[in-house]
Amino acid sequence: MPGDSEDPNADVQYHLEVGPGDVAETVLLPGNPERVETVLECWDDGEVRAHHREYRTATGTYDGTPVSVTSTGIGSPSAAIAVEELARVGVETCIRVGSCGAIQPEMSVGDLVITTGAVRQEGTSDEYVREEYPASADHEVVSALIAAAERLDYEYHTGITMSADSFYAGQGRPGFDGFSAAGSDQLVDDLREANVANIEMEASAILTLANIYGLRAGAVCTVYANRETGEFRTEGETRAVETASMAAHLLARMDEVKREAGVERWHADLSL
């Protein structure tokens, strides 16, 4: 039947079930569908536009700026589907909003980590481009996230994120019945020595696809655990949400300033 088409060029997307006009140009990407409600609580207004499988999408405004949110579920495969289908309906900026494990000792539970680039230890982005291709965050998004964290007076760190496909073996944790994957006992130490800041499961695929498609993308995560100190608490969830929402507003203002100045990219000679 025509309604069951899997055509990627269809107006209504196959997995997200959104079409043109359902989403703003900037979309926040949490993993957990339940976090969409947390996002909406931080905005001026908003309403759910679609909900299919792990993908829940809502659109509203933050400080007068149109913004959307789409949950991606756990991991890079489903996050890549979200980026693909959002791009097809006109999204230009994607900001991952989530939680992470920190691996540097100075990072505390509740701090934010703003990703500048990512180690591609997930397999999804390998399906798109050679492994040497960098998963880099857009500098405008990074700047907006930093500015937002500063204005909100939240403790934050910037740095390299590692994105894994596995929560257990792929992040150096023991599997069922004490199973230990080859090299897992050294994984976190090796990443720490390379000055990697944190570990999560979606950022590198989102950043890689965004670069391939000419989109802006970044990521901000709240630290839930520090793998160096052993500290673990699920607190500070709204800090990443508030920071990303304000960043979306600041990016809209940055775009206005760029248009007025007649330039294409944000740089140090421009100010908000």
The reply to whether 265 falls in a domain is: no
Among the listed residues 257, 252, 260, the one whose alpha carbon sits nearest the alpha carbon of residue 272: 257
3-state secondary structure of 63: coil
Record the pTM: 0.94
In the residue annotation, 130 being an active-site residue is answered as no
Q: Is 84 a catalytic site residue?
A: no
**How many domains is the chain built from?**
1
Supply the pLDDT for residue 8. 60
Confidence of residue 1 (pLDDT cuts 50, 70, 90): very low
Closest CA to 36 of 70, 76, 81: 70
Active site residue 239: no
pLDDT (tens digit per residue) in 135-171: 999 999 999 999 999 999 999 999 999 999 999 999 9
Which of 49, 56, 96, 227 is labelled catalytic?
A: 227
The average pLDDT across 221-241 equals 86
Q: Give pLDDT, residue 4.
A: 53
Structure tokens at 90: 């006109």
- 56 pairs with which residues across the strands? 51
Evaluate whether residue 44 is within a structural domain: yes
- Is residue 3 predicted with pLDDT exceeding 60? no
In this structure, the number of other CB atoms found within 10 A of the CB of residue 263 comes to 12
User: Has residue 1 been placed in a domain?
Assistant: no
Instruction: Specify if 73 maps to a domain.
Output: yes
Q: How far apart are CA 107 and CA 115, in angstroms?
A: 14
Residue 87 within a domain = yes
Contact 95, 243 (CB under 8 A): no
What are the E-state strand segments in 227-263?
Answer: none
Catalytic-role residue among 51, 139, 157, 173? 173
Query: How confident is the prediction for the chain on average, in pLDDT?
Result: 94
Let me know: does 180 contact 139? Beta carbons within 8 Å.
Answer: no
- Reduce the DSSP state of residue 218 to 3 states and report it: strand
CATH number at residue 63: 3.40.50.1580
Kindly report, residue by residue over 60-112, the tens digit of the pLDDT. Answer: 999 999 999 999 999 999 999 999 999 999 999 999 999 999 999 999 999 99
Instruction: State the pLDDT confidence band at 7, using cuts at 50, 70 and 90.
Output: low
113, containing H or E segment: strand 112-121
Phi, psi of 132 (to 5 degrees): -75, -15
Q: Is the pLDDT of residue 2 over 50?
A: no
Please, are residues 19 and 12 in contact by the beta-carbon 8 Å criterion? yes
* DSSP sequence for 131-196: TTS-EE--HHHHHHHHHHHHHHT--EEEEEEEEES-SSGGGT---GGG---TTHHHHHHHHHHTTE
Q: Which domain holds residue 245?
A: 16-258
DSSP-derived secondary structure letter, 232:
B
Angle 237-261/35-42 helices, nearest 10 degrees?
50
Assigned domain for 194 exists: yes
220 pLDDT above the threshold of 70: yes
Compute the distance between CA of residue 183 and CA of residue 265 in angstroms, rounded to an integer.
42
- Indicate whether 10 belongs to any domain: no
Query: Is residue 51 situated within a structural domain?
Result: yes
Report the SS3 class of residue 81.
helix
Which one is catalytic: 85, 92, 140, 202? Answer: 85
Tell me whether residue 173 is one of the annotated catalytic residues: yes
